């Protein structure tokens, strides 16, 4: 029996691609700004079969975001398409169909109407279009998880820029250039959470 999903937990299914660094940071920062906690397959420890661990992570999250904007071949001599994102989306859809009250998923793209060509079985699903920018991701996250207490997109961008300015120091501290490594991801989450919490408290105090 899978565990009950955690209400503020969001499974983040995005390409592990350095070229999409700004989107990766925006997803982490934006979710914390809106009061949610992102989770990724990179944080899963070793042991059981990887797909089983990913499914368990999806089952433990109340929401999931699936970014299908990376349809190009990866760079380098071993160029290949990115199939992990649609695979994990398929697992999520199957889980949601069988457990409709336990999970809600969202699909993101950078170009309007492209999803109709790249994944025609999703026709009828309205993807969130972020146009490949951090500001676009923050705006779409705010639309998806809107509440009257949500910060504005300019306020979210302030936190994004602060976290972005600290990325190189976080990489150095972890002794890696891999932005998606577990240690780096956890530090990005900690920093995003801390700054978001401080700003929420400051806004509360400033309210008349």
Interval 145-181: pLDDT, tens:
998 889 999 999 999 999 999 999 999 999 999 999 9
Cα 128 from Cα 122, distance rounded (Å):
13
Question: Which of the residues in the chain have pLDDT under 50?
Answer: none
The three-class DSSP label of residue 20 is helix
- For the packed helices 21-33 and 134-144, what is the interaxial angle rounded to 10 degrees? 30
For residue 84, count CB atoms less than 10 angstroms from its CB and return exposed for 0-12, middle for 13-18, buried for 19 or more. Answer: middle
Backbone angles phi, psi at 87, to 5 degrees: -65, -45
* pLDDT confidence of residue 24: 96
* pLDDT confidence of residue 157: 95
The highest-level CATH class for domain 6-206 is alpha beta
User: Is the Cα dihedral 32, 165, 39, 94 positive or negative?
Assistant: positive
* pLDDT confidence of residue 113: 81
pTM listed for this prediction: 0.89
Whether 195 contacts 162, CB under 8 Å: yes
Element (H, E) at 93: helix 84-98
* pLDDT confidence of residue 42: 82
The three-class DSSP label of residue 203 is helix
* pLDDT confidence of residue 71: 66
Q: What is the DSSP letter of 208?
A: -
* pLDDT confidence of residue 124: 74
- Gyration radius (Cα) of the chain, Å: 17
Whether 40 contacts 179, CB under 8 Å: no
pLDDT in tens, 81-90: 667 888 999 9
* pLDDT confidence of residue 6: 82
Boundaries of every domain in the chain: 6-206
Whether 155 contacts 10, CB under 8 Å: no
**Structure tokens belonging to residue 2:** 């899978």
Q: Minimal CA–CA distance to 61: which of 23, 88, 87, 24? A: 88
């Amino acid at each position: 029996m899978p565990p009950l999903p955690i209400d503020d937990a969001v499974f983040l299914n995005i390409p592990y691609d350095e070229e999409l660094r700004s989107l990766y940071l925006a997803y982490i920062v934006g979710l914390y700004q809106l009061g949610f906690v992102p989770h990724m397959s990179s944080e899963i420890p070793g042991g059981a079969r990887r797909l089983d661990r990913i499914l368990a992570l999806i089952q433990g999250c109340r929401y999931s975001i699936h970014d299908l904007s990376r349809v190009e071949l990866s760079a380098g001599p071993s160029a290949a398409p990115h199939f992990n994102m649609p695979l994990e989306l398929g697992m999520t859809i199957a889980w949601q169909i069988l457990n409709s009250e336990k999970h809600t998923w969202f699909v993101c793209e950078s170009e309007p109407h492209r999803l109709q060509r790249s994944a025609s079985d999703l026709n009828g699903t309205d993807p969130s279009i972020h146009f490949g920018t951090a500001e676009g991701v923050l705006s779409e996250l705010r639309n998806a998880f809107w509440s009257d207490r949500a910060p504005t997109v300019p306020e979210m961008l302030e936190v994004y820029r602060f976290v972005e300015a600290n990325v190189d120091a976080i990489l150095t501290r972890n002794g890696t250039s891999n932005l998606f490594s577990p240690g780096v991801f956890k530090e990005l989450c900690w920093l995003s959470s801390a700054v978001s919490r401080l700003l929420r408290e400051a806004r509360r105090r400033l309210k008349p």
